[in-house]
Amino acid sequence: MAGKGSDKHIACAASKARLANLSLSFSRQLAPYVKVNAIAPSLLMFQEGDNKEYQQKALKKSLLCLESGEQEGVAAVQYLLSSRYMTKRTLALGGGRHFALLSKLRRSRHHESTN
C-alpha cells in the first residue's frame, strides 16, 4: 500500500509510506552501528466486532485467504532481529494481499478484452 496508494484507505497508505521513508532515513543515518528495518502488515487478525461477511470479504483479498494472528507479527520481528546483515528493508506481511488484488484485476481486464 505504501508504494501504491489507496483511495479507500488514505490514512493507512500515508502512514505506511511515512514508516518506509523514516526507516530508510534512519538506516542511512545510524549505519553501521544500528540496523533499521520495518514491518508493514496487512490484516493480521480481526476485531471482536467484525461480522462474518466482512471477514470473508477481507480474507479473499489475499493469496493465502487466512487470518494469520499476532504470532505472524511476532515471527516477523524475530526474523528481522535474527539477521546480522539485513538493514534498510520493509518487510511486507500480508499473505500476498496485493498480489491477489492485482491478479483479480488482471483476470477482470482479460475477461473484458475477450468479450
Q: Render pLDDT for 84-107 as a digit per residue (tens, 0 to 9).
A: 999 999 998 988 876 665 666 666
- 47 within a domain of the structure (yes/no): yes
- 88 within a domain of the structure (yes/no): yes
- 57 within a domain of the structure (yes/no): yes
Q: Which domain holds residue 47?
A: 10-108
- All three cell numbers of 61, joined, read 483479498
- 26 within a domain of the structure (yes/no): yes
Between the CA of residue 108 and those of 4, 5, 111, what are the distances in Å? 19, 20, 5
- 93 within a domain of the structure (yes/no): yes
Q: How far apart are CA 53 and CA 49, in angstroms?
A: 12
- 65 within a domain of the structure (yes/no): yes
Q: How far apart are CA 41 and CA 52, in angstroms?
A: 21
CATH of residue 64's domain is 3.40.50.720
Task: Kindly give, in sequence order, each residue whose CB lies less than 8 Å from that of residue 91, ignoring residues fewer than 6 positions away.
Answer: 37, 38, 39, 40, 76, 79, 80
Looking at the predicted structure, is the pLDDT value of residue 27 above 60? yes
Q: How far apart are CA 4 and CA 44, in angstroms?
A: 20
Residue 9 amino acid letter: H
- 24 within a domain of the structure (yes/no): yes
Query: Which of 41, 5, 39, 7 shows the shortest CA–CA distance to 22?
Result: 39
Split into its structural domains, the chain has a count of 1
State the pLDDT confidence band at 61, using cuts at 50, 70 and 90: confident
- 82 within a domain of the structure (yes/no): yes
